[in-house]
Structures are given as C-alpha cells and as structure tokens.
C-alpha cells in the first residue's frame, strides 16, 4: 500500500491553522526563543464556558539556539516558502506572531516519552501555536531532534498524523515526517513528497511571482476551462487554479497561460464542429494538450478545405509523435489497449475490445479509422465537454 497525502488531511485541524494565519492572508509569522532560562507559558483555549486563560500553566527551561537549531528552522522555512503559497516571516518577539518555537530541556507538561508538542492557543481575537521541542543530547542537533522540530512545525501548518495515528506501522518518517516511526536508515528531517502534496493541497502551490512550477513534462498534464472562463491544471492533488498566472514552468518547457492555454481554448467554437474535432484528435493521437499554433494550422487547413478531417487524421498517424506514443509495430490488440488508455483514460472493456479488434483484424477499419472512432466516441466527447467547461 502506498502512502497518500490525504492521510495527513484533517479539516478541523487545518481550519485552526487557517484561522491562525487569517483568511485572505498567506503569511505565517514565527518567533524563535533564544533567551535561555526558566520561564512560564500561559494556556489559552476554549471550553464549554468560553475562552479560558490559565496563567503560568506550563513551566519550561529554554536552551536558546541549541546547536544552531535556529538556523535549521530558518532554512526549513526558506525552503518551504518557495514551494507552497504560504509565506514565512520571522519576528524578533512573540507579540502577535502565529508560531512561537521554544527549544527546551524541560517542560512541566511533558510525559516521560514526550519530545515535542504543538500547542493550540486561542483567544477571542485570534489563534496561534506554541511549539516546544526537547533536545535529546547535550552536544549535537541530531536527526531525531530535527525530525521532532519538523514534525511539530508540520502540525502548526496543518498536517495531522497519518490517519490520526502516528504509530501506524505501515508508515515511517520517510513516508511522512508526521509518522512517529524512524525511517529505514535514519530519521527523515525534510518533508516527504506526501507531506509536500498535503501542504500544497492546504495552502496552494507558490504563485507569487506569477509563475507556478510543476515537476513533470508539460505533456503529462491535463488542463480545464470552467464555464466562467477560469482555468486549472490537474495534478496529483487534483485541480489547481492557474487563472491569472503568467507562466507555468514544467520539467521540459515554460508555457504562457494566456497564449498556450487560453489561446487554445479560445479557438474552440463548438463541440462537434471541426475545432472541437481537431482538439480531440490531439489528445487521441498524441495524448496531450494541443499547441496553439498547431491547432490553429489544422483548423485553418480544414476550414479552407485544403484538408479533410480524415486527411488530418492520416497526417497525425504518420507523424513521429504518434509513432513514439503508439509504437510502429505493435499488435492490433496493444494498439486498442493504448487507445483506451490515452483517449478514454481507462482500460478496455471486453465488449469494446472485441468490437474494435474484429474490425481491425477483418480489415473493416484501418487503424486511422479506429483512432477517429475513439476520438469521436460519445465517451470522449463527454470528457472533452468536461475539459471545456461546456455542458
Ligand atoms: Ca511561499
Ligand atoms: Ca505566497
Ligand atoms: Ca500567492
């Protein structure tokens, strides 16, 4: 069983973090306590009687910037800031900061095995977190300490234990820093892919510069338009809005949202007319979103009647891009399998497979005609309508 970021999502917990940061705000201010010595923390929480304030509720012994833990935390926030839309600013005092971090050697509310704690604090005017973590050794910030820090910070920015059980033996700190189990080799002290996906889901992908960054090649993604002309990209965490963005950066290219996404959707004038048919053919033949220029070229060739739709399909089929997607010498059966995967995004059903296979084997249809059949099937037109935001 593979780990899913959704195991870290608990909406109640997220809501607390979101309210702490503030609606329409994307900056989390944090404070790192460098003042060594004994001190008291107050507790603020809500109960059935309303807001409660317990003065001097927790006694702690602060150890200041233990083994450069302050630098570790600063670097953690700098690195995370670039990835998620939430932004981090350090404050020199804890008056109004959202996250207060205390490196300690003692806390009166810790049990024998407690090494860290993320305490939710709440008054009528707002919410914040106190994070306590207990250094394990006298003379070096080890991987366990770092894991404790990132785990507690993870809580403050909305992550829960995997399915609310940090000890679940199926996962360890390599799957998520929110696990209480060590990794195969060591304690992990950077957010896993699952952690990052959960954080992107909660806070959004960083977009402040007008550019959003995606890990895979452009061709791996699907794009959607909504009925009110908003645009989104489908990623491993679902649909993410790209409306108002300037550029999207992929592993293999940078594309311009206005030219390359809106510019493609704007060429579609109807579901069943030639503009829609050629759009669908791009996905069927190449399994990708059309490029604006290419789409425009083939629409013009058809509208001026220099080319028929059937001839366009033949041109697609002999292109290098088609051959690289489908292979040259594959069996009829594999060809149909790939059409199901690429066009309809599902495996073949028995009845469909038999139908297309017998048409191909008996020479009733060519491979080009089968491609057109898939591209113009009701199922694919349904997918296309969803992509287009038309119903
Ligand atoms: Ca950020
Ligand atoms: Ca931001
Ligand atoms: Ca932003």
Residue 1 has a pLDDT of: 77
Residue 274 has a pLDDT of: 97
- Indicate the pLDDT class of residue 318, thresholds 50, 70 and 90: very high
The alpha carbon of 209 and the centre of ligand 2 are apart by a number of angstroms equal to 9
Residue 140 has a pLDDT of: 85
Number of the ligand closest to the Cα of 79: 1
Number of the ligand closest to the Cα of 207: 3
The alpha carbon of 290 and the centre of ligand 3 are apart by a number of angstroms equal to 28
- Indicate the pLDDT class of residue 391, thresholds 50, 70 and 90: confident
Which residues are near ligand 1, the ion (C-beta closer than 5 Å)?
81, 87, 206
Cα 210 from Cα 18, distance rounded (Å) = 23
- Indicate the pLDDT class of residue 138, thresholds 50, 70 and 90: confident
The alpha carbon of 206 and the centre of ligand 2 are apart by a number of angstroms equal to 5
Main-chain dihedrals φ then ψ at residue 35, nearest 5 degrees? -85, 110
The alpha carbon of 21 and the centre of ligand 2 are apart by a number of angstroms equal to 12
The alpha carbon of 130 and the centre of ligand 3 are apart by a number of angstroms equal to 25
Residues contacting residue 270 through CB under 8 Å, at least 6 positions apart: 276
Q: What three-state secondary structure class fits 108?
A: coil
Reference 73, options 141, 25, 19; nearest CA is: 141
Residue 139 has a pLDDT of: 79
The alpha carbon of 207 and the centre of ligand 3 are apart by a number of angstroms equal to 5
The alpha carbon of 83 and the centre of ligand 1 are apart by a number of angstroms equal to 6
Residue 275 has a pLDDT of: 98
Reference 232, options 15, 386, 81; nearest CA is: 386
Which residues are near ligand 2, the ion (C-beta closer than 5 Å)?
26, 85, 87, 208
Per DSSP (E only), the strands in the chain are: 27-32, 37-47, 50-62, 87-91, 99-107, 116-123, 126-134, 211-213, 222-225, 231-235, 238-241, 247-249, 254-256
Is 173 a residue whose pLDDT tops 80?
yes
The alpha carbon of 216 and the centre of ligand 1 are apart by a number of angstroms equal to 20
The alpha carbon of 208 and the centre of ligand 2 are apart by a number of angstroms equal to 5
Residue 276 has a pLDDT of: 97
pLDDT in tens, 34-86: 999 999 999 999 999 999 999 999 999 999 999 999 999 999 999 999 999 99
Is 24 a residue whose pLDDT tops 90?
no
Q: Which two tokens stand for residue 28?
A: 């989390």
Residues contacting residue 24 through CB under 8 Å, at least 6 positions apart: none
Residue pair 206/85 in contact by the 8 Å Cβ criterion:
yes
> Mean pLDDT over residues 333-360, rounded?
95
Residue 258 has a pLDDT of: 97
The alpha carbon of 159 and the centre of ligand 2 are apart by a number of angstroms equal to 18
Is 7 a residue whose pLDDT tops 90?
yes
Residue pair 339/371 in contact by the 8 Å Cβ criterion:
yes
Number of the ligand closest to the Cα of 89: 1
**Complete domains list, the chain, with CATH:** 5-203 (3.40.390.10), 211-226+233-256 (no CATH), 267-388 (1.10.3130)
Give the residues across from 30 on adjacent strands.
90, 99
Cα 187 from Cα 177, distance rounded (Å) = 9
The alpha carbon of 82 and the centre of ligand 1 are apart by a number of angstroms equal to 5
The alpha carbon of 179 and the centre of ligand 3 are apart by a number of angstroms equal to 29
Residue 65 has a pLDDT of: 93
The alpha carbon of 329 and the centre of ligand 1 are apart by a number of angstroms equal to 48
The alpha carbon of 81 and the centre of ligand 1 are apart by a number of angstroms equal to 4
pLDDT in tens, 111-129: 999 999 999 999 999 999 9
On average, the pLDDT of the chain sits at 96
Reference 218, options 179, 187, 257, 188; nearest CA is: 257
> Mean pLDDT over residues 312-327, rounded?
92
């Amino acid at each position: 069983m593979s780990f899913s970021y959704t195991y870290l999502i608990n909406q109640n917990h997220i809501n607390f973090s979101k309210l702490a940061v503030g609606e329409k705000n994307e900056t989390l201010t944090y404070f790192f306590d460098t003042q060594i010595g004994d001190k008291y923390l107050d507790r603020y929480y809500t109960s059935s009687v309303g807001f409660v304030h317990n003065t001097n509720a927790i006694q702690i012994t602060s150890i200041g910037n233990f083994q450069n833990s302050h630098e570790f935390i600063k670097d953690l926030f700098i690195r995370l800031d670039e990835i998620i839309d939430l932004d981090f600013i350090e404050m020199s005092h804890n008056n109004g900061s959202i996250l207060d971090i205390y490196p300690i050697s003692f806390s009166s509310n810790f049990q024998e095995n407690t090494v860290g704690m993320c305490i939710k604090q709440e008054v009528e005017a707002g919410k914040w977190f106190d994070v306590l973590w207990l250094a394990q050794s006298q003379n070096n910030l080890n991987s366990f300490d770092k894991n404790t820090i990132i785990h507690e910070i993870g809580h403050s920015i909305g992550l829960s234990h995997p399915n609310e059980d940090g000890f679940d033996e199926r996962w360890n700190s390599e799957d998520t820093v929110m696990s209480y189990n060590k990794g195969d080799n060591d304690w992990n002290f950077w957010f896993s892919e699952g952690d990052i996906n959960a954080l992107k889901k909660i806070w959004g992908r960083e977009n402040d510069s007008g550019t959003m960054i995606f890990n895979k090649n452009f061709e791996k993604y699907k794009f959607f338009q909504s009925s009110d002309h908003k645009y989104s990209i489908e990623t491993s965490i679902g649909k993410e809005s790209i409306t108002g963005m300037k550029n999207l950066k992929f592993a293999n290219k940078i594309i311009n949202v206005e030219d390359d996404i809106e510019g493609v959707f704007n060429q579609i004038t109807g579901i069943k007319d030639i503009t829609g048919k050629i759009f669908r053919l791009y996905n069927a033949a190449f399994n990708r979103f059309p490029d604006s220029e290419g789409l425009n070229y083939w629409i013009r060739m058809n509208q001026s009647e220099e080319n028929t739709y059937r001839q366009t399909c033949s041109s697609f089929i002999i292109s290098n891009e088609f051959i690289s997607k489908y292979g040259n010498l594959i069996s009829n059966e594999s060809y149909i399998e790939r059409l199901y995967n690429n066009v309809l995004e599902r495996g073949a059903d028995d009845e469909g497979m038999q139908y297309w296979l017998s048409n191909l084997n008996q020479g009733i249809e060519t491979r080009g005609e089968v491609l057109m059949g898939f591209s113009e099937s009701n199922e694919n037109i349904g997918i296309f309508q969803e992509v287009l935001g038309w119903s």
